[in-house]
Structure 1
């Protein structure tokens, strides 16, 4: 079931996105930002659906950068 948002509806929680080249296609950032509070967006140079197992250091680096991007 695809996500459906009504006009003006937003997810306000800070959201991080890591894009891996062997993963399913992702909509453009401008589309995602319409409903999500994107605070981190990074494209990886390798990896796929199981990125945490395929390249754990890269995945951990993305997580680390996302959490450091939050102003708490």
Structure 2
């Protein structure tokens, strides 16, 4: 899914696009699905600024790593 929008004033003035999707890949024989969201500023047909968000913990857990609290 994607959406385009235009910021008309301020530091982020310009044309933008947002994209949501799922990246699927295989690592060490394990197939993983990672949802992501990308927001990019576009000028002259090129991406000039971007940010991507994804769940790094879900990828690590699929690879067999866990999250543990620090022990005092």
TM-score (norm 2): 0.25
- Which of the two has greater helix per residue? 1
Higher RCO (C-alpha 8 Å, min separation 6)? 1
**Structure exhibiting the larger radius of gyration computed from Cα positions:** 2
Q: Which has the higher strand share?
A: 2
